[in-house]
Amino acid sequence: MTALGPLLGALADGSVEVVDLTSPLSEETPLIQLPPDRGQPWPFQREVISHYDEAGPTVYWNNIRLSEHTGTHFDAPVHWLPGKDHDDVSKVPPRRLFGPAAVLDFSAEAAEDPDFLLQRHHVEAWQKEHGPLPEQGWLLYRTGWADRQDDPGKFLNDRHTPGIAPECAKWLAQETPLVGIGVETVGTDAGLAGEFDDQPYPCHWYFHGADKYGLTQLRNLHRLPPQGALLIAAPLPIVGGSGSPARVLALVAGD
C-alpha cells in the first residue's frame, strides 16, 4: 500500500487523469473489410434476453455476437502465422498488459495522404526530439483517423488508410524494446498492406512473430503527451483466443 499510496492520492486529487482510449462498441462500429474469398468477421450484434419484462421482470441483459477483432481490440501473437507458437490472449502475462506509451503524431501527414506509411527515419527523428522508445512500452501511432470513426465509410475509406512501412515494422518489432503497437485505424496495418510486395501485413507478421501485441481503433490519443503516459490494456482472457475486444486506458499526469 505504501508504493500505491501516491498514485491513489494523485488519482483522487486529479493530478493524474484517466483517459479512455476505447471506442464505444455498437452495431455501428466499423469492421475490417476482407477480400470476398476470405472468411469474414462478424459485426457486433445483440439480442435482448430480458428488459424488465415478462422474461425477467427485474433484469436487463443481452446476448451478443461479434468477432474477436471487433472495435477497439487486442491482437495476441497467435493471431498471425509467425506467432502461432506464442501466447493466445488468455495466456498473455498480466504484467505485459500495462506499460509506458510513446505517442507519435503523424496526423498532418495522414491528412495529406491517406496511404501515408511511417518510416524508420520518422521514428528516429521523433526519438531525437522526445527520447528513446520506452522499455516494455507501446508505440501509439496517431494519424487523426479516430476523427472518422462515426462515419464508417470515411473510416474504412475503401482501404486507403495509413500504416507502417514493412522495413519500419520489422525494425520496431525486432530491434526496439516495445511490447506492442497501437493505432487509430481498423487494423494495425495500412489498408493496402495486403498488396505490399516485400511483406504483406508487416505489423501483424513481425510484431506477432516477435511475441508482441497490437491494439486497434484507439481514440483520444491527442490527450496524451509524446512520452510519460501509462497505458493499460484489458482484453478478455478467451481460452485459445486470437484476440479480444478490450478496454484501453491511459494514466496521464496533469498540468
Which residues have a catalytic role annotated? 79
Torsion of CA 10, 15, 21, 24, to 10 degrees: 90
What's the CA gap between 169 and 89, in Å, rounded? 22
User: Which is it for strands 180-183 and 138-142: parallel, antiparallel or unpaired?
Assistant: parallel
Residues whose CB falls within 8 Å of the CB of residue 119, separated by 6 or more in sequence, listed in order: 165, 167, 168
Residues ≥6 apart with Cβ < 8 Å to 155: 30, 145, 148, 149, 186
- As a whole number of Å, the end-to-end CA separation of the chain is 26
Cell numbers 501509439 correspond to what residue?
A: 140
C-alpha closest to that of 117 among 153, 148, 82, 141: 141
Residues across the chain: 255
